[in-house]
Amino acid sequence: MSIPFVTLDDPHYCQAVQVAPLIRRVIADNPSKFTYHGTGTYIVGDGDVAVIDPGPLLDTHRDALEAALHGCTVRAILVTHCHSDHSPLAAWLHERTGAPTVAFGPHAVNTDWVDDDTPDEPDEEERAAAAAAEASGAAKVEESIDLAFQPDQRVADGRVAAAGQGWTLRAVHTPGHTSNHLCFWLDEQRALFTGDHIMGWSTTVITPPDGDMRAYFASLQKVKALDPAVLWPTHGAPVTDAQPFIDAFVQHRLDREAQVLAAVRDGVTMVPDMVRRLYVGVHEKLYKAAGRSVLAHLIKLVDDGQVAYVGTQPGVTTPYLPA
């Protein structure tokens, strides 16, 4: 089953665009292989507002939010998770407005995990972009972790995260992409702000050890049970036919899991070789991210008793065998 991704034609960088009643979106000019056109910060409410995923440390995005929030009272700053394209501007916005930052918690760190994956070597285009960003005073933007983020308020699953005139946002704990990932449910519109749990343009990377494929499957079913009228992802266009979209995400993951298991049973023992077999036609720049998702599937298959590994810990350089 193919996923019916939705095209976002014009990101309207650094402009506050009214995308629905009570909802404005400002997209940061940080396009990348992880962020699509860029990070979409949502402003919910009219005058009395909450901000969802303030975004990366980009001067242009900060200035755009400053303009968009002029005359508003910010009640809360909601953060879906602590990747560096989502949470870093929360500190600035808290200092400017006094509004509390609200999240499930900080990013969890597994001190027992030894990462055996080597970092990507940036290509010429990426090095040039990083140099230009540094020269302009902007921060490097990538799928790295904002370990400095500590929410002022922790919110549990199902509890009200923020409320204002005509709107109520509730926390929906959706671990998988990260263990602390939240979506936010807008009661009045049956709308779900999905962060990176469900994106409009691509599948989500599940990166162990904090990323967990079994948890991700469960979180997809949890979102489906909510029966949302619309999904508002941080990256990509809104999804207005949510049920078949979620079904396609689930089926895609089930198909990938079956492919990983078949590869192991065919004698493919190493993650990089599985990626080359399974991701035919995908640009090699995405192999690293694909390998992390393959690893997440393998860890689940190990837990299911269908795959075994050689060594002390599952990893990218670990050989895998049928159990």
Q: Is 246 exposed, middle or buried (0-12, 13-18, 19+ CB in 10 A)?
A: buried
Q: Which two tokens stand for residue 169?
A: 């946002």
Query: Is 323 domain-assigned?
Result: no
Structurally, how many domains does the chain consist of? Answer: 1
Report how far residue 216's alpha carbon sits from residue 121's, in angstroms, rounded to the nearest whole number.
Answer: 29
Q: Which domain holds residue 225?
A: 17-240
Query: Is 321 domain-assigned?
Result: no
Cis status of the peptide bond prior to 209, with omega within 30 of 0:
yes
Q: CATH number of the domain that 45 lies in?
A: 3.60.15.10
> For position 18, what pLDDT does the model report?
97
Q: Is 29 exposed, middle or buried (0-12, 13-18, 19+ CB in 10 A)?
A: middle
Q: Which two tokens stand for residue 172?
A: 């929906």
Query: Is 275 domain-assigned?
Result: no
pTM: predicted TM-score of the whole model, two decimal places: 0.89
> For position 31, what pLDDT does the model report?
86
> For position 139, what pLDDT does the model report?
35
> For position 1, what pLDDT does the model report?
59
Q: Which two tokens stand for residue 144?
A: 């790295």
Query: Is 34 domain-assigned?
Result: yes
Low-confidence ranges of the chain (pLDDT < 50): 121-142
Query: Is 59 domain-assigned?
Result: yes
> For position 142, what pLDDT does the model report?
40
> For position 119, what pLDDT does the model report?
54
Query: Is 85 domain-assigned?
Result: yes
> For position 201, what pLDDT does the model report?
86
Query: Is 11 domain-assigned?
Result: no
Sheet holding 23-27, edge to edge: 17-20, 23-27, 40-46, 48-52, 73-78, 101-103, 153-154
What is the per-residue DSSP string for 138-149? PPP-SS-B-TT-
> For position 143, what pLDDT does the model report?
55
> For position 118, what pLDDT does the model report?
62
Query: Is 67 domain-assigned?
Result: yes
> For position 54, what pLDDT does the model report?
96
Q: What is the pLDDT of residues 161-192, one digit of tens each?
A: 999 999 999 999 999 999 999 999 999 999 99
Report how far residue 146's alpha carbon sits from residue 86's, in angstroms, rounded to the nearest whole number.
Answer: 9
Angle, in degrees to the nearest 10, between helices 271-278 and 287-303 = 110
